[in-house]
Each structure stands twice: as structure tokens, then as C-alpha cells.
Structure 1
Amino acid sequence: MVHSLRSYLLITCGGFIQGMGMALFLFPHSIPSGGAGGLAVLLNYWVNIPLSFALWLINFSMLVAAIYWLGNASAIGTMYGITITSLSVHVFSFDMYRPYDNVWIDLVVGSIILGIGVGILLRQGVSNGGMGVLALIISNIRDIAPGKPLFLLNGSIFIVTGSIIAWPIVIQALISQWLSTKMVDIIFHLKKLVFFEQPILGWRKKSKKEIR
């Protein structure tokens, strides 16, 4: 129980930091923070599904994948992390927190903060939602840090949706993803994040036989 509480404390910190990076620095410039939003735009464009429902459908599908591939503990932690992130986005979505407004400064600072938050979440064996689930599954199977697969997944989606979203924003999104996923790998490879860090919620890697 103590270890679970410690893990949830880190998940809370990761979700809070991730939401702060989104709300303060990226969203004000309409820079997407991940590939789930890009897939939602594609579904809306192709079959006219409302963006809000499309985004929910994608995240729900990813949670189902998390349950199947990573186990119930990781899925529960992911849902909790997504909730904390949403609350953080709401808290920081006020102009009082924005003393300046420069898209490139915000892009760099926001991407670094976003990457720190996502890295803390993935380090605890939970996803930040969206493509983070697939990145964590690939990381689990291939025994690699999740930053590279996360960048490739999100980057591919941004390129595909380039004809729908303004190209400058897509380019900014790719730069943001590169910076944030570099931070993800740095955080993921740290020997110890904080002095009380413990393994997450009984999460473990599945063997290849179990995955099949």
C-alpha cells in the first residue's frame, strides 16, 4: 500500500507537470501535444465524428489496449494520470499565468516541461494517454525507452494530418515532439527519480509467450 501511494504521488506530479506544459505554453499557440488529437481530426474529417467524441474514443481504445497488454494496474494508473492532467490543464488555462507570449520560447519551454511530465508517468509504468499507451507497449516488448516510439507514432500522425491542420503548426508540433521525447528518454533513464521512488503498482513486463 505504501509503495502504491508513493507511485500515485509521482503519477500526480507527472500529470500535473504535463498539464502545465500543455496549458501554459503549447495550447495557447494551438500546438498539438500528441497524436491522439491528430487522429481525432482525421476521424472528424473522414466520417464527421465530433472531435470531442473522437478524442474520447481514441483514448478509450488506448485504455483497452493498456488493460490487455500492460495489465489492470497500468490502466488504472493511466486513467488517474489522464484525470490529473485534465485538471492541471483547467487550472492553468487562465491568462494570468502568461506574462509573455512568444511562440518559439513557449515551444521550447513547454516541450521540455511536457517531456518531464510524460517521462515521470512512463517511468511509473503508466501512459500519458493517447499514443503513449502504444509507446509503452512497444517499450515493453522491445525493452527500449519509450521516447523514440512515441516520437515516431506522433510524428507520423502529424504528417498525415498536415493537409488538415496548418503546416506551420504541424512543423511546430514535430519540433515539440522531438524535444519532449528527448526529455522523456532522459527522465526514463535516470537511475533514481526521487529518493522515495518505487516500482509502480505491481506492473511488470510480459514475456513474449504471454504477449502472443
Structure 2
Amino acid sequence: MFMMEAKRIIVVILGALLNAISLNFFLIGANVYASGFTGAAQLMASVFNDFIGFNISTGILLLLLNIPVLLIGWYKVGKGFTIYSIISVFFTSLFLQIIPVIALSNDIMLNAVFGGVIAGVAVGLSLKIGASTGGMDIVAMILSRLNDKPIGNYFLIMNAVIIVLAGVFYEPENALYTMLTLYVSTRVIDAIHTRHEKVTAMIVTLKADELQQAIHKKMVRGITILPAKGAYTKADKNLMYLVITRYELYDLEKIIHEIDPNAFTNIIETAGVYGFFRRD
């Protein structure tokens, strides 16, 4: 357990480092913007510096934007998920302060593509181990739980605002390259993690009751349990069927490994869900 959590923290810190590198080496110097709260903090820092004459770093703004969101996430999303988000936000802000802003290239296309790739790797790695980069991840999860709409809708709205403002305050070309960065980072996240907000888990197990109790302690999700029989062993088993968000996938894998490491689990991408998605 200790090694698993230590690995999780190391990956979160690595993701924070990569996120800071994508900003300070590629995106900030080119006035091309990242997604979510990171892009919002980056755009605010540019506007403050260029139009108001007030110099404040992206790292400080990112930290300030995340403080109220992390407090809300602590009570609304879950303490475990929020703790890793706090670690990610803290180290991202720290690395943004420590790493100098260096223009490795004057080609805005190269900056947009490489910045997007590195940012996508940072977010993808964090999501893969069940953590997040804070900010919009938490806001989207809270709003999604309130009305059960796809998390991606809220990311789309947030990023659309960043793109429009980038075009208003700077050249329209900057908005276009910001779109390119967002597209590249999204594709990289898809390759590393999963492109669907929701996935279906089918678990064949001998310990359905224990798994059901452990899952319901961690997440608010409905579970359907069906009788099953092993074709080779003829052993009587159960098939557990549930739909979860991609953010909960790591927690589900950990629960299965702890309760029944011999269980067979199949994870399927889910395009849409109708009816009751969560357990009240």
C-alpha cells in the first residue's frame, strides 16, 4: 500500500514538472495557452503584464485560482482525490516559479505542438493513476454530478472562453494556435488514458459482496450483480456490472486488487449512459 501511494505521489509530481516545462519552455513565450485553469492563469498573467503593467507569475495565479476550488472539492468530490490535486497544484506552481521562462524556438507552430504534447503527457499520467491537475477537473466533476452531464462539456466551455479571449487580447493567430495546442494535448491524453468520460467495468469474481461493500464505501455508483459460471472450472461466480467515470478507474482497480486479486475485469469505453447513473 505504501509503495502504491508513493508511486502515485511521484507520478503526480512528475506531471506537475512536465506541465511547468510545457508552459515555461514553449507556451508562455509564444502567447499560446494551455487548457483549463492553467491556461486561464497563463492568460491572466499575460493580460496583467501587457495591459495593466502589473507583473505576476502564472504559478502564483494558478495557485490562487485553485484555492477555493480545492476547498470545495475536499467536501464535494472526495478527500483522497483532492489531496493529490493539492499536491499537483502546489508543485506545478512551485516549478513554474523555479524554472525560468526560456524560448527554445521562435516558431509558434513548434511551441504550440510541443507544448501541447508535454502538457498532454502531464495530464494523462495524472489521470491514469487516479489523480488530477486540480482546477477545472474538480469543477467539472462537481457540475457533472449535479446534473449528470458529460464532464467534457465543461472543459469545452472553459477552453472556448480561453480561445476567444486569446483572440481578443492578442492576435487572432494566437487563438488559432491555442486551438492547436488544445487539440494536440487532448489527443495525447486520449492515447495515455481514455477519451471517454465514463467507462463500463464488468468484474467476474467469487467475492461479489465484499467488492460491492468496498466499492460503495469509495464511490456513489449503482452496481448490477448477475450469476455467472466458469466455463472451464464450472465454478459458480458473480458478474458485477457498473459504470464509473475515468477519474474513478484507478480507485476501482485498487479495490479489486485488494479484495479479489484473482477477479477477471473487463473495462469498456462507454459512449453514453441513460437512466440512473449513480446510487442515491
For residues 76 and 10 of structure 1, do their structure 2 counterparts lie closer, same or farther at Cα, with a shift above 3 Å needed?
same
Report the Cα offset of residue 105 of structure 1. Answer: 0.8
Report the Cα offset of residue 165 of structure 1. Answer: 4.5
Query: What code does the residue aligned with 2:187 have?
Result: K
SS at match of 1:25: helix
Which residue of 2 is the match for residue 9 of structure 1? 10
1:47-103 Cα distance to aligned partner (Å, 9 max, x none): x9x8968755531232133223321111111111112222333343254x83x3311
- Say if 2:36 and 2:136, in contact at 8 Å, map to a contact too: yes
C-alpha distance in structure 1 between counterparts of 2:145 and 2:187, whole Å: 18
Establish whether residue 183 from structure 1 lines up as the match of residue 184 from structure 2. Answer: no
Which residue of 2 is the match for residue 129 of structure 1? 134
SS at match of 1:159: helix
For residues 105 and 148 of structure 1, do their structure 2 counterparts lie closer, same or farther at Cα, with a shift above 3 Å needed?
farther
Give the share of equivalent positions with the same residue, in percent: 20
- Structure 1 length-normalised TM: 0.71
SS at match of 1:189: coil
Higher relative contact order (CA 8 A, sep 6+): 1
Aligned residues: 191
Report the Cα offset of residue 109 of structure 1. Answer: 1.0
Which residue of 2 is the match for residue 38 of structure 1? 40
Establish whether residue 93 from structure 1 lines up as the match of residue 100 from structure 2. Answer: yes
Which one has the bigger strand percentage? 2
C-alpha distance in structure 1 between counterparts of 2:10 and 2:149, whole Å: 25
Q: 67, 70, 73: which is aligned to 1:66?
A: 73
Which residue of 1 is the match for residue 199 of structure 2? none
For residues 54 and 3 of structure 1, do their structure 2 counterparts lie closer, same or farther at Cα, with a shift above 3 Å needed?
closer
C-alpha distance in structure 2 between counterparts of 1:17 and 1:187, whole Å: 15
C-alpha distance in structure 1 between counterparts of 2:81 and 2:94, whole Å: 20
Which residue of 2 is the match for residue 199 of structure 1? none
Which residue of 2 is the match for residue 167 of structure 1? 172
SS at match of 1:90: helix
Once the two structures are overlaid, the 10-residue window that deviates more, 72-81 or 57-66, is 57-66
Which one has the bigger helix percentage? 1
For residues 79 and 35 of structure 1, do their structure 2 counterparts lie closer, same or farther at Cα, with a shift above 3 Å needed?
same
Structure 1 alignment gaps of length 5 or more: 191-201
C-alpha distance in structure 2 between counterparts of 1:167 and 1:55, whole Å: 24
For residues 118 and 80 of structure 1, do their structure 2 counterparts lie closer, same or farther at Cα, with a shift above 3 Å needed?
same
Structure 2 alignment gaps of length 5 or more: 196-214, 222-277
- Say if 2:12 and 2:88, in contact at 8 Å, map to a contact too: yes
- Structure 2 length-normalised TM: 0.56
For residues 188 and 140 of structure 1, do their structure 2 counterparts lie closer, same or farther at Cα, with a shift above 3 Å needed?
farther
Establish whether residue 111 from structure 1 lines up as the match of residue 112 from structure 2. Answer: no
Report the Cα offset of residue 149 of structure 1. Answer: 5.2
Query: What code does the residue aligned with 2:15 have?
Result: G
Establish whether residue 84 from structure 1 lines up as the match of residue 85 from structure 2. Answer: no
C-alpha distance in structure 2 between counterparts of 1:113 and 1:148, whole Å: 23
- Say if 2:21 and 2:99, in contact at 8 Å, map to a contact too: yes
- Which protein has the larger Cα radius of gyration, Structure 1 or Structure 2? 2
Equivalences for residues 149-168 of structure 1 within 5 A: 150-159=155-164, 162-168=167-173
